[in-house]
Amino acid sequence: MSQFAINLIFVGGSFLLYILIAIWAKAGSTKDFYVAGGGVHPITNGMAIGADWMSAASFISMAGLIAAGGYANSTFLMGWTGGYVLLAMLLAPYLRKFGKFTVPEFIGDRFYSKNARLVAVVCLIVASVTYVIGQMAGAGVAFSRFLEVEATTGLIIAAVVVFIYAVLGGMKGITYTQVAQYCVLIVAYTIPAVFISMQLTGNAIPPLGLFSTHADSGMPILDKLNQVITDLGFNEYTADIDNKLNMVLFTLSLMIGTAGLPHVIIRFFTVPKVADARWSAGWALVFIALLYLTAPAVASMARLNLMTTIYPEGTAAQPIEYDARPGWIQTWEETGLIKFEDKNSDGRIQVYNDKNEQFASTTAQERGWNGNELVVNNDILVLANPEIANLPGWVIGLIAAGGLAAALSTAAGLLLAISSAVSHDLIKGSINPNISEKGELLAARISMAVAIVVATWLGINPPGFAAQVVALAFGIAAASLFPALMMGIFSKRVNNIGAIAGMLSGLIFTLVYIFMYKGWFFIPGTANLPDNAANWVMGISPLSIGAVGAIVNFAVAFVVSNVTEEPPVEIQELVESVRYPRGAGQAQDH
Amino acid sequence: MSGHSYDAEKYWKANLRLIFGSLIVWALVSYGFAILLRPMLAGIAVGGTDLGFWFAQQGSILTFIALIFFYAWRMNKIDEQFGVHEE
């Protein structure tokens, strides 16, 4: 059977499964549509959160980022998991007790202000739309590589599948497809990792393999990797870094951003009790950790594998000839994600760090090297892993289905957050408060359909700034939503004016800092300062500014609230009531 | 809860204490051991590298999981103690 047929069976089979689930889990009420009826078991919800959270970025890109950055990029591992501690203790249980359907609804009620609710809706939509573009683009890459269809065709197929289960089933359909998608993606991620760990270290558990001995050399695998790459002029993989302030703030921004992302928060509204919201945060992190503990092992082992593929006789000997390159390099060259240029015309592939001037002027010159000749896109590391390790064809099919599961499950969660903000917060909350239950359900389905069309269009025509906007999504969630939600629960004193002033100043501060370095609204050529460490204020990168924005938000909200009137008594009672679990009952409208 | 405002206050203080303690550990393993204090832990070898690297790539995640389950377990107990748990 051809590889194409195998891939088609895996991807087609998984899509069929999602559609069957959609037919089984049709939403009958707005409560089904927004919170899956409110009766999801905490372990089931934990699994759904895992798929909801782990996006194309976690599945496809993260291991590649760690492979390239080594220790310095551990920020992604800690940042994208540490937020769950904040969710479990600072937000999820109380928002579940509040017992309504959306994040802006809490902000609007707690700060007794339609304007606060609108600010929250705008933040939610900007953060979620930017995030969804990345998912659609990731799905496009997986389609074009594994199913040999144009990315556009692939995206339309994916959109139709999402359309079926998200429009029909709302949160209910999404919950159970996310459970299935979690299973697909975690199996797809771990199987190649287990094989590679076995091959390199003899240890079948990748996280243990990472700290054990490299079978061929008898050295610890991280030592071996350090040795190989420093021979080629790269920094040590495990090297410490100097700019610790930026590393701390970047990790903190990712953590606070994670906790403030609405598509994650609304998943906690689907469990029956406050205690279940706490448990499901724990289960979610267990399921997430299965991938996040595997990723750093995949990263270092794949990088070592890549280097030994290029330098089979060791770094001191000649690299392989271009004509003798393995098949997977050829396949990925066709997608443009691997590029080769024979700069010194010797027919061999030299891979080294040509930005290291000292290395370039010594070793590289002595060996007649004229620049790094192979450019490998970080994103292919996980997708190409089974081919690099010579694994059977069905593992490749599984990776294709897994990558799509990761992208589509996150896309569906984001689309639900967007459509419920439109139908529940804008239409029911502002435009037509007297809309009937049936009318609102229809409005929710229509908003979902529109959101899918917009997301697909953006996936097909990705704006040039797609990679940068992810920083924007985390920055906005960290600087605007997280502080407002936390103050709404932990302070009785913060009032409507304080909350709005806080959200706006946190948001504007963060946006201005990002735009100063990345260009205004990401329009090329409009940046005020070059985006590099020498120009950053105190060495803080625009990607790390969300945490500072959050501090600005907290500070402004407290100062403004303290010089203005106390919130009314009924609002202080509302704050009391979210703090005590008794009487949460089911998530309800009013 | 209304009518038991004294207990309600004690319940909330117990929650805040638990959160505070948990977040100290949360910050210590990630921002502390894995980033700022890494040079101090450089002497402790773990499989080809040092303890700080282990915390950055595995230890902190494992600690986060333990923290959430510990918090959920303790907090659910405290809910019952103060009689604010759900049936």
Higher pLDDT, residue B2 or B33: B33
Q: What is the pLDDT of residue A332?
A: 86
Q: Which residue intervals of A236-362 are DSSP H helices? A: 244-260, 262-265, 274-310, 327-335, 357-359
Give pTM, 2 decimals.
Answer: 0.94
User: What ipTM does the predicted assembly reach?
Assistant: 0.95
Question: Where does the pLDDT of residue B35 fall: very low under 50, low under 70, confident under 90, or very high at 90 and above?
Answer: very high
Cα distances from A538 to residues A255, A541, A573, B32, in angstroms, run: 21, 9, 43, 20
Lowest mean pLDDT segment, chosen from A17-26, A110-119, A243-252: A17-26
Per-residue confidence band for B30, with pLDDT thresholds at 50, 70 and 90 = very high
How near does any CA of chain A get to the CA of B16, in Å? 9
Plot region of A39 (φ>0 → left; ψ -120 to 50 → alpha; else → beta): alpha
Q: Write down the pLDDT at residue B1.
A: 42
Of the pLDDT bands very low, low, confident and very high (cuts 50, 70, 90), residue A590 is: very low
Residue B45 distance to chain A (closest CA, Å): 10
3-class DSSP assignment, residue A40: coil
**Chains A and B: how many Cβ contacts under 8 Å?**
142
Average pLDDT of chain A is 91
Residue B84 touches chain A, beta carbons under 8 Å: yes
How far does the CA of residue B41 sit from the closest CA of chain A (Å)?
Answer: 12
Which domains, ranges and CATH numbers included, belong to chain A?
A: 3-239+246-304+388-579 (1.20.1730.10), 315-382 (no CATH)
> Which site among B23, B49, B62, B73 would you substitute to test the A interface, given the most A Cβ atoms closer than 10 Å to its Cβ?
B49
Mean predicted confidence (pLDDT) in A299-324: 93
Segment A67-86 mean pLDDT: 95
Which pLDDT score, from 0 to 100, does residue A3 have? 85
**B84 vs A contacts (CB less than 8 Å):** 580-582
What's the pLDDT score for residue A54? Answer: 93
> Percent of chain A at pLDDT above 90?
68
What pLDDT, in 10s, does the model give residues A435-492?
998 999 999 999 999 999 998 888 887 765 555 667 778 988 999 999 999 999 999 9
pLDDT for A34-44, tens place per residue? Answer: 999 889 999 99
Name the band, by pLDDT with cuts 50, 70 and 90, for residue A508. Answer: very high
Contact A579 B75 (CB under 8 A): no
Res A223 pLDDT > 90? yes
Residue A587 has pLDDT above 60, yes or no: no
**Residues whose CB is less than 8 angstroms from the CB of residue A7 and which lie 6 or more positions away in sequence, other chains included:** A146, A147, A396, A397, A400
Contact across the interface for A275 and B79, Cβ inside 8 Å:
yes
The pLDDT of B2-16, averaged and rounded, is: 80
Residues 38-77 of B with CB under 8 A from A: 38-39, 42, 46-50, 52-54, 56-58, 60-62, 64-65, 67-69, 71-72, 75-76
- For residue A88, give the nearest of B54, B58, B68 by CB distance: B68
Question: Inter-chain contact A78–B61, Cβ cutoff 8 Å?
Answer: yes
- Per-residue pLDDT tens over the stretch A313-335: 999 999 999 999 998 899 888 87
Strands (DSSP E) contained in chain B are 45-46, 49-50
